[in-house]
Amino acid sequence: MSHRSRRRFESLVADALDELPGWVQEAMDNVAVVVEDHPPDDDPDLLGLYEGIAQTEREFYVGALPDRITLFRSTIEAEAGDDDEELRAQVAETVVHEIAHHFGISDERLEALGWD
């Protein structure tokens, strides 16, 4: 589907994480960010997915598996088209969106803040 390599995509994800403000990087807790080539069959347009216990919901949080942020390469690349700068922007936006969920920010709140 794409002429871009997985390694290049993963590099853009790493860049997006590195570009987060320091306080966000320090506040992220027990979360893994991974890349999958394709979204689940039941949600083929999904760009990213947060799975876990948001920090605002954590009580007696001991021994929990890491939260997981998954970025779906095929849909993010399709959204960006052939424009590399648009791809960089789409990766960064998806990373911010899913990390917001890690901090307990809902889709509705993100939309109200202009992150639709």
Whether 5 and 35 have beta carbons less than 8 Å apart is answered as no
Q: Is the pLDDT of residue 115 over 50?
A: yes
Residue 1 in any domain: the answer is: no
Residue 55 in any domain: the answer is: yes
Share of the chain above pLDDT 70, in %: 96
Global pTM value: 0.87
**Cα 16 to Cα 88: distance, rounded to the nearest angstrom:** 8
- Alpha helices by DSSP H, listed for the chain, are 6-18, 22-27, 73-80, 84-102, 107-112
Mean pLDDT in residue range 87-96: 96
Nearest-5° angle of CA 92, CA 94, CA 95? 65
Residue 87 in any domain: the answer is: yes
Residue 115 in any domain: the answer is: no
- Indicate which CATH number applies to the domain containing 83: 3.30.2010.20
Range of the domain at 38: 6-110
Residue 116 in any domain: the answer is: no
23-27, 57-61, 79-83: least confident range: 57-61
